[in-house]
Structure 1
Amino acid sequence: MVRRLGAMQSQDYGPAKWSIGQRTGVDNDTLDRQFDDGQFLRTHVLRPTWHFVHPADLRWLLELTRDRVHMINGFMYRQEGLDRLLRDRADAILIDALKGRRSLTRSELAGALGNANIVAERFRLAYLLMSAEIDGIVCSGPRKGTEHTYSLVEDRVPTVRSLTRDEGLAELTFRYFSSHGPATVKDFGWWSSLTQTDIKRGLQLVGDRLTKEQIGDVACWSSGEALGRRAAGPRVDLLQGYDEYIVGYSQSKYLLDLAGLTKTARRVPFNGVILVDDQVTGLWKRTVTKTAVAVEAVLYESFDNKQLAALEVAVDQHGRFLGRPATFEVAVL
């Protein structure tokens, strides 16, 4: 699933795993083991935020988008006094600290940088490590308990054939529109950080593998594959707040809320998004204990009995993912 989508935004590790489990049926504990084993990685790529990415895709994705992401980070590099010379020096220190297939936590790497007289605190540390990720020096390592670690890319990522720039553009263009489509060129630009020139070239290279269609006044691209028949009755999905279905779009994001419910709704501090038949209908949050998970749902409009039954199915699915019985409460704004 991570490969099919190209990458999956994952700055919040726990909820981001749900985005995989929701689509594949793989449970939370299994995903933790797969992550620790390096079957999928977490690093900064495409944009200045963490993404899950398949190891076989990491190198070419970084090569394709590295310069753009460094450019986006330029203001913060200058703000924190992180010129290229200092970041190269930090990269060398990180390589030395992690050699021998070591995996170290953020605080342990901060100590290594500090011992070399590089101030590595708060945002400065974050952007030093992010720069090293974008440079393809480090990526996620196996967790130490609940703490995340960093490892050298050369220890976690197999050496595979490099893609030429054109091959990378074609591959990422097809992956995005075939998994996220119908979507627009601006959507893809937001998601990938690629320039309009690069995207135009990618579409040329992909050719008739993608289909162009007009939705209102906007040109959209997709694989053109027919969607499966929707099951009878409403379907409810509980999405984590940074799910690709939400953050994977910019220009066409309005299609998630055709009724305009979010424009007039009172704000509540819930991060999750509730969909009914692909439309935003409310927000949710979860409280997880060792023995149970409780879901609080806040709806923009009241659900009928069929929608409430579908919500219960979605809550039960989330409980099975976490390996805990699930309950839920509903309020209407």
Structure 2
Amino acid sequence: MPIDERTNVVPGGPPSDAPVPDAASNGIGLARRRAGATGLDGAQPAAFAGAADVVGWFGALQSQDYHPAKWAVAQRLGTGVTDAGLDRVFDDGGILRTHVLRPTWHFVAPADLRWLLGLTAPRVHALNAYPYRRSELDGPLLRRSTDLIADAVAGGNHLTRTEVAALLARHGIAAAGFRLGYILMHAELERVICSGPLRGRQHTYALLEERVPQAPHLEREAALAELVRRYFTGHGPATVKDLAWWSSLTRADISAGLSLAAETLESIDIGGVTYWSAPGEAPAPAPSPSVRLLQGYDEFIVGYRQSKHLLDLAGLASAASEETSLPNGVILVDTQVTGRWKRTVRAGGVAVEAALYRPFDAAETAALQAAADELGAFLGVRAVVSTRLL
């Protein structure tokens, strides 16, 4: 089962081990570069031909919530991408959804799935050791369950979660709730199953060997270098501690990967903290104000631990942190968190409710409506915005 990462959705003040940059301008500069790397500055950082290119750019894109995660992909692809269209890409296996980094779901490009799992699965298994014990899932039982599931989904017989539970029950294996979740995650990490096509609104599981085309094998050192390069290229400027959080890799592994990938990256030291990124000039600032409606698990939000304070340099989110009923989405003005939002899809429309940390001026209000209109176009409905001030 995925871990609850909602504490990372809205950045608070800088953690004790993360000094604030020397000056606000340094922080804004880093945040602007990060917006460019993550594809949120209005210009694609790479030639994204489709959803797999977006997902592959990051290495993996968190998809704890499937429907909002599609919106994160669409925001990097530009106009013309629809929710239903991304469902079709997913059904066709153009992008996959499975457990591959920290114990939660991620979208992964098919070409990357095998080498990523070879690198990260042992670490995720280690993180799951206590939940496995708590759920009374020892090695023999997990292997037996995985074998039963593999046999059942072979030949394109894709099964839903409920159907997998019934299958295991017929063989005397109790599987419900968290226990079922960890049985399925184990089978995913063992490169046996992955996401299948949707069946209505239900997700299914497929045999990985049938679902994922063969791809070139990466030895461990090459995989380490590639994951380090992908992270800092698609998330930078960011720190080693950020990468450790995002990837679940050990510091020793990251150090090894960084030494192998260093020639493809550049670093800058600010306030005693080293930030790594792809080399190149900082992008020109996007037209301001630019408003983005990010889903709560967008990589721009959850891809960092040490340096997530760069999204909230004014401390607006921190000042509102006592509010417990806030929606999960994050509103950005330019690169900074300025509120929360949620969507409610109704017949013929989507209601966007915005809770603002500070008043918006006329230009920001217009940009907020434009961002909501983009969401409406993605969903194929009209967007109606309501706001309240926290």
Superposition TM-score tier, normalisation by shorter sequence: over 0.9
Of 292, 296, 299, which residue of structure 2 is paired with 1:241? Answer: 296
| d(CA) in 2 for partners of 1:12, 1:131 | 20
| d(CA) in 2 for partners of 1:233, 1:261 | 19
Q: Quick check: 2:288–2:334 contact (8 Å CA) kept in 1? A: no
- How many percent identity over aligned positions? 55
For residues 135-183 of structure 1, what are the alpha-carbon distances to aligned partners after superposition, in whole Å with 9 as ceiling and x for unaligned? 1111100011110000010011111221000110011000000010000
Report the CA distance between 1:217 and its aligned residue.
Answer: 2.0
Matched, 1:20 2:76: no
| d(CA) in 2 for partners of 1:106, 1:290 | 29
For residues 96-123 of structure 1, what are the alpha-carbon distances to aligned partners after superposition, in whole Å with 9 as ceiling and x for unaligned? 1111121110000111111111111111
| d(CA) in 2 for partners of 1:290, 1:146 | 17
Say which SS state the counterpart of residue 187 (structure 1) adopts. Answer: helix
What's the counterpart of residue 303 of structure 1?
Answer: 360
Say which SS state the counterpart of residue 249 (structure 1) adopts. Answer: coil
For residues 277-333 of structure 1, what are the alpha-carbon distances to aligned partners after superposition, in whole Å with 9 as ceiling and x for unaligned? 110000000000231101000000001111111111111111111111101011111
Say which SS state the counterpart of residue 150 (structure 1) adopts. Answer: strand
- TM-score in terms of structure 2 length: 0.84
| d(CA) in 2 for partners of 1:317, 1:245 | 18
For residues 186-210 of structure 1, what are the alpha-carbon distances to aligned partners after superposition, in whole Å with 9 as ceiling and x for unaligned? 0000000010011001111012210
After the TM superposition, which residues 155-174 of structure 1 pair with which residues of structure 2 at under 5 Å, given as runs?
A: 155-174=210-229
Matched, 1:286 2:343: yes
After the TM superposition, which residues 47-62 of structure 1 pair with which residues of structure 2 at under 5 Å, given as runs?
A: 47-62=102-117
The amino acid of 2:338's aligned partner reads: T
| d(CA) in 1 for partners of 2:372, 2:284 | 23
| d(CA) in 2 for partners of 1:191, 1:264 | 26
The amino acid of 2:55's aligned partner reads: V
| d(CA) in 2 for partners of 1:176, 1:205 | 14
| d(CA) in 2 for partners of 1:225, 1:107 | 49
Report the CA distance between 1:17 and its aligned residue.
Answer: 0.4
Superposed CA RMSD: 0.9
What's the counterpart of residue 385 of structure 2?
Answer: 328
| d(CA) in 2 for partners of 1:272, 1:123 | 26
What's the counterpart of residue 6 of structure 1?
Answer: 59
Matched, 1:37 2:92: yes
| d(CA) in 1 for partners of 2:262, 2:287 | 36
The amino acid of 1:9's aligned partner reads: Q
| d(CA) in 2 for partners of 1:305, 1:6 | 38
Report the CA distance between 1:84 and its aligned residue.
Answer: 1.0
Instruction: Judge which range, 263-272 or 71-80, deviates more.
Output: 263-272
What's the counterpart of residue 147 of structure 1?
Answer: 202
How many residues of Structure 1 are paired with residues of Structure 2 in the alignment? 333
| d(CA) in 1 for partners of 2:350, 2:61 | 24
Report the CA distance between 1:219 and its aligned residue.
Answer: 0.5
Q: Quick check: 2:358–2:389 contact (8 Å CA) kept in 1? A: yes
| d(CA) in 2 for partners of 1:147, 1:165 | 35
Say which SS state the counterpart of residue 144 (structure 1) adopts. Answer: coil
| d(CA) in 2 for partners of 1:197, 1:231 | 37
What's the counterpart of residue 232 of structure 1?
Answer: 287
Higher relative contact order (CA 8 A, sep 6+): 2
- TM-score in terms of structure 1 length: 0.98
The unaligned stretches of length 5 or more in structure 2 are: 1-53
| d(CA) in 1 for partners of 2:316, 2:332 | 12
Of 267, 270, 283, which residue of structure 2 is paired with 1:212? Answer: 267
Say which SS state the counterpart of residue 212 (structure 1) adopts. Answer: strand
| d(CA) in 2 for partners of 1:215, 1:100 | 55
Instruction: Judge which range, 231-240 or 12-21, deviates more.
Output: 231-240
| d(CA) in 1 for partners of 2:315, 2:238 | 20
What's the counterpart of residue 253 of structure 2?
Answer: 198
